[in-house]
A and B are shown apart, each in its own frame.
Chain A
Amino acid sequence: MKALLGAFVVVLLGLACGRFVVASPAGEYQIKAAYLLNFARYIEWPAARLPPAQALRVCVLGRDPFGGALSALEGRQVNGREVRVRQLEGADQAGDCHVVFIAESEERRLAAMLRALSGRGLLLVSDIDGFVEAGGGIGLVTEEGRVRFDINQASLQRDGLRASAQLLRLARSVHGARVP
């Protein structure tokens, strides 16, 4: 028992001092960061919203859960555009973003946030439970140890965004799909 407590105290001390700060390996949020880059690749924005050669801005709303994994996106090329990552202080700052990731810290304010952000040509992505059902664009879902995604086609269309056939095919489920 003493040994158990001793080991426990060591772990606690380590945590409290913050000495074990290492990049978390194969973490859930590294995979989610990679998804954000891929969504940017397979979504088409209206030309007015994203003129050619303009940088593509990926923004985070709420407490950044990526633990530094998003910085790996900074400066990468997507369809010939440079990616820029930005942390937002509020929904009112989302104006010049293209992809907005809504962190779980915003769950309580989600409905109001979705109303404020929808119809502005933004791709809204989140891992909040029930995100696409609530009207979000793409929801990330961790299921049986794997990260997958749901698409709300109606929300994307309302924002003038076009998802490629490949993206739709790889989604776990597509909500609000309309037969043309």
Chain B
Amino acid sequence: MGKRSRQIRRLTRQEFLLMSAGAGAGLALAGCGGGSQNNPAVQGQGGSGGGGTEYTGPTVELAFWNGFTGGDGPFMRELVDQFSSEHENIQVSMSTQEWADYYESVPAAVRGGEGPDVGIMHSDQLGTNAARGVILPLDTVAESLGLEESDFAPEVWNAGIYNGQRFGIPLDMHPLALYYNKSLLEDAGLDPNSPPTNRDDYEAALEELKSSGIQGSWVSPFPFTGTLQFESLLWQFGGDLYDEETSKATFNSDAGVEALTWMVDLVQNDYSPRDVAQDAEFIAFQNGENAFHWNGIWQINAFKEVSDLDWGVAPLPRIGSEDAVWSGSHNFVIMQTSDQNRIDASQVFINWISQQSIEWARAGQIPARASVRESQEFADLQEQSTIAEQVPYVRFVPAVPGIGDVQPESFDQAVNEAVLLQKEPKTALDEAAQRADQILEENREKYEA
């Protein structure tokens, strides 16, 4: 009963053998140095290699790990295959596992010398992995690739910096959005082409839907999508998750209570069923039982595959006093190694994919580079570019080390307890904030020690 099976797609035996055979023992030896934060080999490498755009060394096999288990995985795999076929001396093999497992196994794999060369990490994971010596500083990479702050959304760009050094090359942003079922709106006598944009309209629409027998806005008590909705609302009501120094939780402010109360009221007012299970709001939307669904941009392709579903997507309505929306961001990282050839080849790979980010946008992402976002090709991706209208006010979880430990122990639980009507929003948030403060304190001690 304690058996635990993990949904990992490990390297296949063949991939692993190829990797070790092709590249010699470099990888295995390279990983032994874990723990040090600054790798001199990387710091001094500015002039070597092809400056990040060209690699002329011996053939290397790069392992690229990520958590693209959804509809985005095949898009990335195709890009990787294309890259490998265009580069004689760099072969990349991609492995995918669930994000939660990925963040657990990558540090151990890198430390054990069997980790990947290149990986993807969310912006709020960069601080943790930088502090733990899992990933390398990439200032010189960013420089040699000619990446500039002005080309990126400032919050995304800054999230990659830890202790004054850059650790991540931003690939995309993936905010929350409002998916709506056009047929349900039409049946309720609403305009299927103009979804609500503010609180009054949203609530009025829900009332209309209710009178036509539809619970219009299912609220999930789980992190996906309940917590994402809570975070967006918290920011909309003018609150924030933590204080300026990320040393104290502030999500139990009046704004937080208002945000969570609004979600609970959706349940109390019968706009959402009680006890929504994991993914039930998503399934109900696909089945035409849920009219408004707050979910991430990454679901575009999933909904496109559902025949008979007449849907649209829009920026989140403004429920609070200002525009705001939760967003995550994928970043390229290079894992700890002292093998210069691998670092050079990894740079070439990152640069190449980064330039194909319009292809990646098709997978359901907003490119991190402004130049790509402003291109005609991106404007042609109707859903993606609609969601990208939110870019001026996207908000991110701060990237301080250990921040990933706080959420599951604090506001994830508060949202769960409140939405399942087990606790009052304020009580749940106050208790969660107390717990969050303890973890933040622990983390400060831990990472500053």
A and B physically associate: no
